[in-house]
């Protein structure tokens, strides 16, 4: 599946909760998610609508690396 350019921060946060990422704090327009799965991991998501495709790509690549799966497999599971 190809990444949609119309994904906003709320959709991404809801999708990442499938992998135990939960919001832990917000500073301005940036939301920090933390996961305890496979060790502690933090990611920061800008609260934008829509997210820039490069930003979305980077976030998904980081999550996929932490979980230990390919980015494409992560995309298929999330969306």
Please tell me the pTM assigned to this model: 0.91
35 belongs to a structural domain: yes
> Could you write out the three-class secondary structure of 17-67?
HHHCCEEEEEECCEEEEEECCCCCEEEEEECCCCCCHHHHHHHHHHHHHHH
pLDDT at 4: 78
Parent domain of 26? 9-71
4 belongs to a structural domain: no
78 belongs to a structural domain: no
pLDDT at 66: 96
Number of domains within the chain: 1
54 belongs to a structural domain: yes
Average pLDDT over residues 6-17: 95
pLDDT at 79: 85
């Amino acid at each position: 599946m190809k990444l949609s350019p119309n994904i906003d921060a709320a959709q991404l946060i809801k999708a990442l909760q499938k992998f135990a990422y939960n919001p832990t704090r917000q500073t301005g327009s940036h939301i920090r998610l933390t996961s305890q799965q496979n060790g502690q991991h933090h990611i920061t998501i800008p609260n934008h609508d829509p997210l820039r495709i490069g930003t979305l790509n980077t976030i998904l690549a980081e999550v996929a690396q932490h979980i230990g799966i390919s980015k494409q497999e992560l995309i298929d599971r999330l969306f």
